[in-house]
Structures are given as C-alpha cells and as structure tokens.
A = this chain, B = another copy of it.
Amino acid sequence: MNSGRERVERRLAAVLAADVAGYSRLMGADEEGTHAALSALRREVTEPNIAEHRGRIVKTTGDGFLAEFPSIVDAVRCAVELQREMALRNENLAKERRIEFRIGINLGDVIIEADDIYGDGVNVAARLEALAAPGGIYVSKVVRDQVRDKVDFGFEDLGEQQVKNIARPVHVYRI
C-alpha cells in the first residue's frame, strides 16, 4: 500500500537546541574553570530540568545540546525555567564568568534513529538557536501558535527571516 517506499520512523517532536554564547571566549579565558562550570550546570540544572519535562538529550556538543520532548508545551516551559535558573546563577558572578545559553525551539515531524534525530524540524531549531540573543529563547511560528493559549508568557513577533539551508523563510518569535 505504500508504493514500495522504504518506511522511515517519523515522529512529531518538540526540538530544543541550545548552546553557550561566547563559549570560545570563556574557554580562552579559563579552560578548566569553564569546563567544570559547564559540567556542574549540566548535572545540576540542565539534565534535571529536561527530565522533569519528560524530554531527553539526544546529543551533546562541547558547548551545547540537542533535546527532544513529546510535548511542545513542556519543551517551552523547560526552556523558560532553564533561562530563569541561569539568570539567577549569573547574578552572583562577575560578567566575564557568566554562562548564558541561546535556545531555539521548533516543532516537526522528524526522523528518529537510535542516537540522533534528523529533518527540517531539527535544522530549523538549530537556526533559531543561532539567531537567539544570549539568555534568549527563539521559537518558530508553529511553536507559538501551539502554546500561546497554554502558557502565561508572551511572544514578540520578529517577522520572517531567511535562514541558511532552509528553503522557506522562518517566522521567528522571541519569548
């Protein structure tokens, strides 16, 4: 019935991409200190928060991670709580030692493999992350449309933006 096409496993997922703004600068200034601070953040903040929102970390890079969530509402709440917690921690630190995440969130019918996820839905999340300001959360229009009646914070419309390697412009909102 499926015209011989090989079936890949697809799944609707909320994709959250995050990285540390100014990672190279932080590492250049204090390699071991930055590494220790990032490890502590992962253990004490990122991993518990993602688990609490039923997400999973798909992969980590030196300065960031990619996570997926079954619910987009949970993904957005997770990002907001992460950024709030980071802001609290940064209050007590000298400016040059502050660690700030940029976060991008998208929703898509992605291709799932054992230890990675693929597809436009993932690529757009990474592009949104790259656009985001340090400490910020950028989401696509579909994310905003799906969650705006279900959460108690607002979305600022940043308009359509052309991003690298994505055919259609992405309509971007900032939380």
Please list the residues of chain A having a beta carbon within 8 angstroms of any beta carbon in chain B.
1-2, 9-14, 49, 52, 70-74, 77, 81, 107-109, 120, 142, 145-147, 149-150, 167
Integer count of this chain's copies in the complex: 2
Determine whether the beta carbon of A145 is less than 8 Å from that of B142: yes
Sample of 25 A–B contacts (CB below 8 Å): A1-B49, A1-B52, A1-B81, A2-B81, A9-B71, A10-B70, A10-B71, A10-B73, A10-B74, A11-B70, A11-B71, A12-B12, A12-B13, A12-B14, A12-B70, A12-B72, A12-B107, A72-B109, A73-B109, A108-B146, A109-B146, A109-B147, A109-B150, A120-B149, A142-B142
A146 proximity list for chain B (CB < 8 A): 108-109, 142
The main secondary structure of chain A at its interface with chain B is mixed
Q: How far is the CA of A32 from the CA of B74 in the complex (A)?
A: 47
The answer to whether B1 touches A109, judged by C-beta atoms less than 8 angstroms apart, is no
Residues of B near A108 (CB, < 8 A) are 146
CA A11 – CA B68 in complex, angstroms? 12
